[in-house]
Structure 1
Amino acid sequence: MIRDPFLDTQGIHNFRDYGGWETADGRQVKTGLLWRSGQHVGASEADLAAVHALDIRTVIDLRGLSERERNPCKRPDGFAGEVHFYEGETTSSPPHMDVDEAITTAEFARQRMMAVYTRMPRNPAMATMFSRYLTLLAERGGASLVHCFAGKDRTGVAAMLLLHILGVDRERQMAEFLRTNEAPTFEVLAAQSVPGIEARLGRKLDEEAVKALLEVHEDYLHTFWHEVEEDHGSLDSWLENAIGVDELLKDALRARYLT
């Protein structure tokens, strides 16, 4: 894709359109319908106006109850869409915030993130939300937004799942996943995350540890795929058996989002 997929925002991290990718059979994922981002707790008035112009009708918030209570998202004035979320906790804490006293080096930080992607395929709450997201995409018209705290881990997997169903190959799925590292709003996420992590640790994070926690890396998504395949043999089998994605749902998603 030559176009810039990122929305110009001041207080929302990683807001972008993840359509536009070519499928293995030469079709293309529609643009302007599939948006993803981090949380909107710090959205400016200009941000809200820009979001309002997108006419987003469905928001899927992958954060758990305590995350939403600590960081209530702002919505544009006149927002008439539906917001869907999980009634309980989707994780013990935002994945990149799940830290301990050993997190001050990049390797320990990376291992913590690898553990997140090892657990995610077996997390019942996330299975529920991934299922709900894919079902809503098929049922509801107009544009949608999926987000979590940082818009990179839970949201990154949600976007990957749809691209897989639509026939985008793994190389492009990974390219979309890694595009998070190109987001021009890294400092927004750092401001929302690093002080809390450092307060929990009682010490400063080194620069490489911050990157390991706040960026994404190929081995994170490879770990997710590996764990799924270890348990179910294939991503398609996991989608069918753990997420409830049957051929009718796949066909509906392809009909709606491919051109």
Structure 2
Amino acid sequence: MQSLVNFRDLGGYQAQEGKKVTHGKVLRAAQPVGLSESDKNTLLKDYHLKKIIDFRSQQEVVEKPVDILAGVAYLNIDLMKDIQSGTASLADLAKKATVAEVDKAMQTIYGELVLDKTSQKGYANFLEQIITQEEGAVLFHCFAGKDRTGVGAALVLSLLGVRQADIVHDYLLTNTQRQEANNKMKTLAASQGMAGEQLLALDRLLSVDETYLGHAFANIKENYGTIQAYATEALNFEQDKQAYLHKLLLTD
């Protein structure tokens, strides 16, 4: 993609029973704002995009509205509406945090993303939106496409039976795919006087780490046992819906 940062197709990973995740059905990215005409054509013509799911807050949506694409439905699901630890901006946290404090804060946020009731309702709606979109593709995103989006991708891939190592691989791709965008943000911060530990903390905030996602999965295991039980009990995504997700998104 020319302008859509941190974009990838969740298709291609090995899943259960020798099947693979179908290409071109579920897409993840950073916010689709200011897209090039080439990227718009790719989404519409190559992927047959039919739905965009936006995990950002109302403030983020107002400040940077998603590009309007002909024939594409749009839904905003504010996952962190009631998560107090997630309300501070990246810049605010970087100004007062060390790298260790960033790690602690991010692990807290990841735990809340899977346990907070509002967030659970959001991810429940997200999964419902996927199984009701039988034709074309669904694109889901947040601001950077790394945390809220990263957990969403991990949930989908986990329910499809993708190996944990592949789920982590997909998650960590953010660090290479966001490198250019992150460098621009760090350069701007440095030009505004940020230095030393603050820049290191900002770099950490702009990245993903396996321990963050691991904390989310650890919370699921501790409270629900398995990802299937979590989907059933916390997300109202029962076994019949999980089976349909397999039917829709797995191929031989």
TM-score bracket for this pair, using the shorter chain length:
0.7 to 0.9
Change in CA separation of 1:98 and 1:80 when aligned onto 2, cut-off 3 Å: farther
Matches within 5 A, 1:38-187: 38-53=30-45, 54-76=47-69, 79-86=70-77, 90=81, 91=83, 92-93=86-87, 96=90, 99=93, 101-103=95-97, 105-141=98-134, 142-183=136-177, 185-187=178-180
SS in 2 for 1:145: strand
RMSD of aligned Cα (Å): 2.7
> Offset of 1:145 from its aligned partner?
0.3
Q: Which position in structure 2 is the counterpart of 1:17?
A: 9
Q: Distance in 1 between matches of 2:79 and 2:238?
A: 26
Q: Which amino acid aligns with 1:158?
A: G
Change in CA separation of 1:198 and 1:82 when aligned onto 2, cut-off 3 Å: farther
Number of corresponding residues: 245
The structure richer in helix per residue is 2
Q: Distance in 2 between matches of 1:97 and 1:113?
A: 14
Stretches of structure 1 lacking an aligned partner (at least 5 in a row) = 1-7
Stretches of structure 2 lacking an aligned partner (at least 5 in a row) = none
Q: Distance in 1 between matches of 2:54 and 2:226?
A: 27
Change in CA separation of 1:25 and 1:89 when aligned onto 2, cut-off 3 Å: closer
> Offset of 1:197 from its aligned partner?
11
- The answer to whether the 8 A contact 2:94-2:201 is kept is no
Q: Which position in structure 1 is the counterpart of 2:243?
A: 251
Q: Distance in 1 between matches of 2:184 and 2:219?
A: 32
SS in 1 for 2:18: coil
Q: Which position in structure 2 is the counterpart of 1:4?
A: none
> Offset of 1:194 from its aligned partner?
7.9
> Offset of 1:87 from its aligned partner?
6.5
> Offset of 1:246 from its aligned partner?
0.4
Q: Distance in 2 between matches of 1:55 and 1:109?
A: 38
Q: Distance in 2 between matches of 1:168 and 1:182?
A: 22
Identity %: 26
Change in CA separation of 1:238 and 1:226 when aligned onto 2, cut-off 3 Å: same
Using the size of structure 1 for normalisation, the TM-score is 0.83
Q: Which amino acid aligns with 1:156?
A: G
Change in CA separation of 1:182 and 1:40 when aligned onto 2, cut-off 3 Å: same
- The answer to whether the 8 A contact 1:118-1:223 is kept is yes
Q: Which position in structure 2 is the counterpart of 1:208?
A: 200
- The answer to whether the 8 A contact 1:85-1:129 is kept is no
Using the size of structure 2 for normalisation, the TM-score is 0.85
Deviations 1:139-160 (CA, angstroms, capped at 9, x unpaired): 1121110100110111111111
